[in-house]
């Protein structure tokens, strides 16, 4: 016979399970299952016209990622895919740094405004979300192309010669990524700056810190959680971005996302696409792990 | 004694000039070197504004602030040899206690060894030698208050500003800190300017007090002067308990509303207000004033009698509860009140 205490504990356990189950089911169906399918696909042989040959297992996709099979079937180290990974990583890091550099002053400016003005400005930051990303990227094409608005504008003041040469380059992809992800950096930094007790800054001034010292010693450290959140929100989607390099890179400046799309599309190599996606996934996991460890460390000191 | 701070016709106006809200209205003030000076007044009287102007967080609309002779009003806060203990303490949450205390010295570019030595000395001064490596938010309110004090004192300012610094503490701790503050001021020899709305706190701690109301300074003086000789009804009302009686003054005395006479010399003839402290008068059969008991409140050390005098209710008489001095009075009893002429302050209002 169970004691009343044991019964109560069991009832509570059941209640908890009942509450957790729906979200667990959603995760299982929409996250774990697709990942498992992808993992399976990455270890299969590619079908002749897309799809896979079920039941024919091979690690070929992962070998393909690093090596090329020569005519005599020997493996030769090939850095083509790694190069694209490196470019993606570089562009994502640059985008994140750029967003930090532009986003922090913007967020600081926002946080220092009066409440009324602040709400208007915050609304303006979110205005781009009201238009489809595709439309906005096409607008950038109009701006950046040779003879486009920027080019002809520069021509008017005698600086351009009608051959700006930015569109379909890494620079254009960079501009597009920066533009797309800037709000995701501004908003979290703004949130942490808005919570900041400005009397602390006053106290720093009072103790002889000039504006730069107050920024470095008080405002930046206290805005760090927002900057870390913003970094995660920008870096991860920028790393796997597909649409910006597709449209502004013109298929020349490929990123991982385009490569994956290519394998599932015209290259008819689903296993390689899946393997590439898993490589991207592990990069993202590494970034998250790094961020998580940093945050743990900063909270550890706090306690 | 030289003056530490000299303020000349300082005004602070918010909103449009000429029609905005005047937080400070033509204030002039001298604060002496090594003085414990208190700005006392109800909330919204301008005392915190005055403090913020001295610290440099805000710019005055008009007027001059001199610190040991040097004009300060155009210097940014980090160039002023003045430190503040904030009402909220404003300790840096991401730094340890030692880093907090050393912050001012670090900003001055002092060598590490000197900073460490000063931090240690400051922690000993505020009697918290073991908390150096803790975070500010791990400390209790009273400890945070002491650290805020240590941080402000560490860089040896010429003047220390304290903005309602004790108001967040509970009663017992506040009393301890009052004594502590006096001790620190004596030990460091720094001029303290203390802002409070608590008149008892002001009286116990200050060398001199400025009573403020609606952006103006009403009276400056020692606690005794302020308490014994308030210049007007607002000051008398704000500091301690006071009975006010309307009266009509003539050559040899004053006449109350119901015709009772009191012998006191009035500076001016005509309608005056008598300010009488409840603890300076007593109930005696030989007393000069007639009253009627409305309420008897026993407070332990003394008993408070609320009387009706000259048609006015709520007239207070405070009597110490000495051994065998109990007077079993009840509502409606007629009593006589002894009012020595020295206990009456005649205000021409």
- DSSP per residue over A207-261, as a string? TT--HHHHIIIIIHHHHHHHHHHHHHHHHHHHHT--HHHHHHSTTTS--HHHHHH
Residue-range domain boundaries for chain A? 4-77, 85-302
pLDDT at A64: 83
Q: Do the beta carbons of residue B85 and residue B161 sit within 8 Å?
A: yes
Q: Is B330 exposed, middle or buried (0-12, 13-18, 19+ CB in 10 A)?
A: exposed
Say what percent of chain A tops pLDDT 90: 43
| B83 contacts in chain A (CB < 8 Å) | 206-207
pLDDT at A165 over 90: no
CB contact under 8 A, A208 and B78: yes
CA A61 to chain centre: 25
What would the mean pLDDT of A189-200 be, rounded to a whole number? 92
User: Checking DSSP bridges between strand B312-320 and strand B334-338, what pairing results, if any?
Assistant: unpaired
pLDDT at B175: 84
pLDDT at A162: 63
pLDDT at A205: 94
Most confident of A19-23, A299-303, B18-22, B342-346: A19-23
Question: pLDDT tier at A303 (50, 70, 90 boundaries)?
Answer: very low
Can you list the domains of chain B with their CATH numbers?
Answer: 3-234 (3.40.50.300), 241-347 (2.40.50.140)
CB contact under 8 A, B103 and A199: no
User: Checking DSSP bridges between strand B282-283 and strand B191-196, what pairing results, if any?
Assistant: unpaired
pLDDT at A302: 45
| A206 contacts in chain B (CB < 8 Å) | 55, 57, 77-78, 82-84, 152
CA angle B10-B15-B16, nearest 5°?
Answer: 95
CB contact under 8 A, B152 and A207: yes
Instruction: Tell whether A111 lies on the interface with B, counting CB pairs under 8 A.
Output: no
Model confidence pLDDT, tens digit, residues A55-93:
888 888 888 888 887 777 778 888 888 888 898 999 999
| B84 contacts in chain A (CB < 8 Å) | 202-203, 206
Rounded Cα gap, residues B211 and B213, in angstroms = 7
CB contact under 8 A, A205 and B78: yes
Instruction: Tell whether A48 lies on the interface with B, counting CB pairs under 8 A.
Output: no
3-state secondary structure B8-62: EEEEEEECCCCCCEEEEEEEEEEEECCCEEEEECCCCCCHHHHHHHHHCCCCCCE
Give B326's DSSP letter.
-
CB contact under 8 A, A204 and B103: yes
Model confidence pLDDT, tens digit, residues A232-255:
999 999 998 988 998 888 877 788
Rounded Cα gap, residues B67 and B80, in angstroms = 9
Q: Can you spell out the DSSP letters for B144-201?
A: HHHHHHHHHHHT--SEEEEESTTTTS-HHHHHHHHHHHHHHHHHH--EEEEEES-HHH
- Of the CA atoms within 13 Å of residue B313, those in its CB half-sphere come to 5
Rounded Cα gap, residues A150 and A166, in angstroms = 10
CB contact under 8 A, A205 and B82: no
| A217 contacts in chain B (CB < 8 Å) | 92, 103
Nearest chain B residue (CA) to A207: B104
Cβ–Cβ pairs < 8 A, chains A and B: 63
| A204 contacts in chain B (CB < 8 Å) | 92, 103
CB contact under 8 A, A206 and B55: yes
Give the mean pLDDT of chain A. Answer: 87
Tell which of A199, A200, A206 to mutate to test the B interface (max B CBs under 10 Å): A206
| A200 contacts in chain B (CB < 8 Å) | 90, 92-93
Say what percent of chain A tops pLDDT 70: 96
Task: Collect all residues with Cβ–Cβ distance below 8 Å to B161 and sequence separation of at least 6.
Answer: B51, B54, B55, B82, B83, B84, B85, B193, B195
CB contact under 8 A, B108 and A208: yes
pLDDT at B167: 78
Rounded Cα gap, residues B83 and B13, in angstroms = 24
The beta-carbon contacts of A49-52 under 8 Å, at least 24 apart in sequence, are: A49/A268, A50/A264, A50/A268, A50/A270, A51/A270, A52/A270, A52/A271
Which residue would you say has higher pLDDT here, A267 or B161?
Answer: B161
Homologous superfamily of the A85-302 domain (CATH): MetI-like (1.10.3720.10)
Option in B94, B104, B135 nearest A207 (CB): B104
Please, which residues bridge with residue B337 across strands? B283, B289
Question: pLDDT tier at A301 (50, 70, 90 boundaries)?
Answer: very low
pLDDT at A23: 93
Instruction: Tell whether A161 lies on the interface with B, counting CB pairs under 8 A.
Output: no
Q: pLDDT by residue for chain B (349 residues), tens digit each?
A: 578 899 999 999 887 766 677 889 889 999 999 999 999 998 888 899 999 999 999 889 899 999 998 898 889 999 999 999 998 899 999 999 999 999 999 999 999 999 999 999 999 888 888 888 998 888 888 889 889 999 999 988 999 999 988 877 778 878 888 888 888 888 888 999 999 998 888 998 899 999 999 999 999 999 999 998 888 888 988 888 899 988 888 877 888 888 888 888 777 888 888 899 998 988 888 888 888 999 888 888 888 899 998 888 889 999 888 776 566 788 888 888 988 888 888 887 6
pLDDT at A32 over 70: yes
Neighbours of A271 (CB within 10 A): 26
pLDDT at A265: 86
Question: pLDDT tier at A26 (50, 70, 90 boundaries)?
Answer: very high
pLDDT at B64: 92
Model confidence pLDDT, tens digit, residues A97-155:
999 999 999 999 999 999 899 999 999 999 988 889 899 999 999 888 887 788 888 88
pLDDT at B126: 85
Neighbours of B83 (CB within 10 A): 26
Which residue would you say has higher pLDDT here, B329 or A41?
Answer: A41
Neighbours of A206 (CB within 10 A): 27
pLDDT at B326: 60
pLDDT at A300 over 70: no
What would the mean pLDDT of A256-280 be, rounded to a whole number? 89
Q: Do the beta carbons of residue B163 and residue B87 sit within 8 Å?
A: yes
């Amino acid at each position: 016979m169970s004691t009343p205490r044991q019964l109560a504990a069991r009832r509570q356990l059941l209640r908890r399970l009942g509450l957790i189950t729906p979200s667990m089911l959603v995760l299982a169906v929409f996250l774990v299952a697709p990942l498992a399918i992808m993992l399976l696909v990455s270890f299969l042989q590619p079908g002749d016209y897309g799809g896979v040959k079920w039941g024919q297992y091979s690690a070929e996709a992962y070998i393909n990622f690093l090596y090329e099979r020569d005519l005599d079937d020997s493996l030769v180290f090939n850095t083509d895919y790694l190069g694209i990974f490196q470019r993606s990583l570089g562009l994502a890091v640059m985008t994140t740094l750029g967003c930090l550099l532009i986003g922090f002053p913007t967020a600081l400016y926002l946080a220092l405004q009066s409440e009324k003005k602040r709400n208007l400005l915050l609304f303006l930051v979110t205005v781009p979300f009201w238009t489809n990303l595709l439309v906005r990227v096409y607008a950038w094409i109009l701006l950046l192309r040779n003879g486009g608005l920027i080019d002809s504008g520069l021509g008017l003041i005698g600086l351009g010669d009608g051959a700006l040469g930015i569109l379909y380059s890494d620079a254009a992809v960079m501009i597009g990524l920066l533009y797309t992800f800037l709000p995701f950096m501004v908003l979290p930094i703004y949130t942490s700056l808005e919570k900041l007790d400005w009397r602390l800054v006053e106290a720093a001034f009072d103790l002889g810190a000039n504006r730069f010292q107050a920024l470095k010693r008080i405002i930046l450290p206290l805005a760090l959680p927002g900057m870390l959140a913003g970094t995660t929100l920008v870096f991860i989607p920028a790393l796997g971005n597909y649409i910006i390099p597709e449209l502004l890179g013109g298929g020349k400046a490929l990123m991982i996302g385009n490569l994956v799309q290519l394998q599932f599309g015209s290259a008819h190599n689903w296993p390689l696409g899946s393997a590439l996606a898993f490589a991207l996934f592990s990069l993202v996991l590494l970034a998250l792990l790094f961020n998580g460890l940093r945050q743990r460390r900063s909270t550890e000191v706090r306690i | 004694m030289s003056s530490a701070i000299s303020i000349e016709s300082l005004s602070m106006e918010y909103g449009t000039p000429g029609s905005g809200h005047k937080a400070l209205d033509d204030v002039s003030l001298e604060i002496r070197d090594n003085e414990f000076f208190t700005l006392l007044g109800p909330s919204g009287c301008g005392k915190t504004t005055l403090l913020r102007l001295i610290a440099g967080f805000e710019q005055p609309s008009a007027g001059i602030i001199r610190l040991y002779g040097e004009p300060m009003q155009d210097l940014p806060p980090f160039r002023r040899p003045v430190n503040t203990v904030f009402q909220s303490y404003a300790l840096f949450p991401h730094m340890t206690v030692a880093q907090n205390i050393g912050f001012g010295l670090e900003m001055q570019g002092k060598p590490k060894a000197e900073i460490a030595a000063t931090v240690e000395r400051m922690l000993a001064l505020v009697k918290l030698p073991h908390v150096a490596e803790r975070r500010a938010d791990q400390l209790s309110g009273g400890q945070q208050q002491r650290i805020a004090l240590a941080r402000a004192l560490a860089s040896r300012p010429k003047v220390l500003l304290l903005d309602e610094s004790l108001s967040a503490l509970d009663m017992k701790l506040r009393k301890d800190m009052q004594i502590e503050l006096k001790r620190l001021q004596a030990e460091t020899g720094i001029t303290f300017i203390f802002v409070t709305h608590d008149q008892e706190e002001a009286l116990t701690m200050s060398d001199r007090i400025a009573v403020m109301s609606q952006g103006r300074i009403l009276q400056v003086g020692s606690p005794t002067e302020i308490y014994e000789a308030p210049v007007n009804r607002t000051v008398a009302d704000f500091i301690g308990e006071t009975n006010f009686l309307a009266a009509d003054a003539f050559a040899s005395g004053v006449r109350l509303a119901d015709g009772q006479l009191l012998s006191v010399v009035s500076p001016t003839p005509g309608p005056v207000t008598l300010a009488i402290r409840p603890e300076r008068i007593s109930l005696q059969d030989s007393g000069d004033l007639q009253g009627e008991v409305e309420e008897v409140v026993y407070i332990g050390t003394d008993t408070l009698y609320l009387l009706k005098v000259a048609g006015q209710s709520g007239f207070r008489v405070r009597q110490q509860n000495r051994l065998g001095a109990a007077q079993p009075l009840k509502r409606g009893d007629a009593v006589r009140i002894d009012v020595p002429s020295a206990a009456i302050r005649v205000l021409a209002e």
